[in-house]
């Protein structure tokens, strides 16, 4: 709802959902997290004398099994390239075989972790939580291009929402999260400071008002977004 509201308050107000796009994103996130988790199982097969191409071929051999569509296959093949480079560089730098690199490369994680906070009336399905030295880091997996710098505002707010839920669930402060923009294979940080937290709480209250019928959405028109919206023919701003 946070993403929908920031994209266009009227779209949330109309309570319309693009099920096809949601399903596409869900499949891509599932394949991506499965591939990331699979790296730990593949590392014991990799030896330090292997070249980059050989490592890449091993990783790409799993892509066919995990990718439900050609679009997702391209994303995973790029991930295989990036992970192969990382593994090869670690082996060259340390002189270790793949099985010895697990603690350097693989972070324990929780995927699609559902949390609810009664005090905030906030529920979320956290795409991925990576656990590093006892600290929890929320990861939003985005099947879209990133902005020129940083992350999109809606993505930052969703990561902040993840952080609040994780703090409630695990009783551990969360100061940093990430957005994985998987089409370009890039992870970007989100600093979860007080300003971002306050912005999130403001947005949550605004959304509650819209859903309860207490507030009419404020105008936030963007012609480029309106052109792409499936519901512009019934939007009250276009009537």
Q: What is the pLDDT of residues 126-165, one digit of tens each?
A: 999 999 999 999 999 998 899 999 999 989 999 999 999 9
Does residue 85 share a domain with residue 34?
yes
What pLDDT score was predicted for residue 17? 44
What are the DSSP calls for the chain, one per residue? -HHHHHH-HHHHHHT---HHHHHHHHHHHHHHHHHHHHHHHHGGG--TT--HHHHHHHHHHHHHHH-SSHHHHHHHHHHHHHHHHHHHHHHHHH---GGGGHHHH---EEEEEEEEETTTTEEEEEEEEEEETTEEEEEEEESS---SSS--HHHHHHHHHHHHHHHHHH-----EEEEEETTTTEEEEEE--HHHHHHHHHHHHHHHHHHTTSSPPPP---HHHHHH-TTTTT-GGG-
Does residue 164 share a domain with residue 231?
yes
Does residue 141 share a domain with residue 51?
no
Q: Does residue 22 have a pLDDT over 70?
A: no
Does residue 117 share a domain with residue 68?
no
Domain limit, last residue, from 105, 128, 154: 105
Does residue 132 share a domain with residue 222?
yes
126 phi, psi to nearest 5 deg: -70, 120
| Owning domain of residue 86 | 23-105
Does residue 233 share a domain with residue 159?
yes
User: Against a cut of 0.85, is the pTM above it?
Assistant: no
Q: Does residue 9 have a pLDDT over 70?
A: no
Lowest mean pLDDT among 2-11, 46-55, 154-163: 2-11
Work out the mean pLDDT of the chain and round it to a whole number: 84
Does residue 158 share a domain with residue 71?
no
Does residue 234 share a domain with residue 142?
yes
Average pLDDT over residues 188-200: 95
Does residue 164 share a domain with residue 99?
no
Q: If we measure between CA atoms, which residue out of 194, 176, 73, 81 comes closest to residue 133?
A: 176
Grade residue 239 by pLDDT with cuts at 50, 70 and 90.
very low
Domain limit, last residue, from 49, 80, 105: 105
Q: Does residue 10 have a pLDDT over 80?
A: no
Q: Does residue 30 have a pLDDT over 80?
A: yes
Please give the distance of CA 172 from its chain centroid, rounded to a whole number.
21
Domain limit, last residue, from 70, 87, 105: 105
How many domains is the chain built from? 2
What CATH number is given to the structural domain containing 222?
A: 3.90.320.10
Burial of 140 (0-12, 13-18, 19+ CB in 10 A): buried
Q: Does residue 94 have a pLDDT over 50?
A: yes
Does residue 125 share a domain with residue 226?
yes
Does residue 101 share a domain with residue 118?
no
Grade residue 213 by pLDDT with cuts at 50, 70 and 90.
low
pLDDT above 90: percentage of residues in the chain: 51
Does residue 76 share a domain with residue 36?
yes
């Amino acid at each position: 709802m946070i993403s929908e509201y920031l994209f266009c308050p009227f779209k949330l107000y109309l309570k319309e959902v693009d099920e096809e796009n949601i399903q596409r994103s869900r499949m891509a996130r599932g394949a991506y997290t499965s591939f990331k988790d699979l790296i730990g199982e593949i590392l014991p097969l990799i030896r330090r004398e292997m070249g980059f191409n050989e490592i890449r071929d091993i990783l790409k051999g799993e892509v066919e099994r995990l990718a439900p569509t050609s679009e997702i296959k391209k994303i995973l093949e790029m991930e295989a390239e990036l992970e192969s480079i990382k593994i090869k560089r670690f082996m060259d730098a340390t002189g270790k075989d793949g099985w010895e690199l697990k603690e350097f490369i693989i972070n324990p994680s929780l995927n699609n972790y559902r949390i609810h906070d009664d005090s905030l009336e906030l529920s979320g399905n956290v795409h991925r939580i990576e656990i590093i030295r006892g600290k929890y880091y929320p990861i939003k997996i985005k099947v879209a291009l990133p902005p020129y710098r940083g992350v999109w505002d809606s993505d930052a707010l969703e990561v902040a929402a993840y952080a609040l839920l994780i703090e409630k669930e695990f009783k551990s402060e969360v100061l940093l999260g990430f957005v994985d923009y998987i089409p370009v294979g890039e992870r970007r940080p989100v600093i979860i400071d007080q300003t971002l937290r306050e912005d999130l709480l403001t947005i949550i209250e605004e959304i509650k008002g819209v859903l309860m019928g207490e507030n009419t959405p404020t105008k936030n028109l963007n012609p480029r977004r309106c052109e792409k919206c499936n519901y512009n023919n019934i939007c009250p701003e276009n009537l």
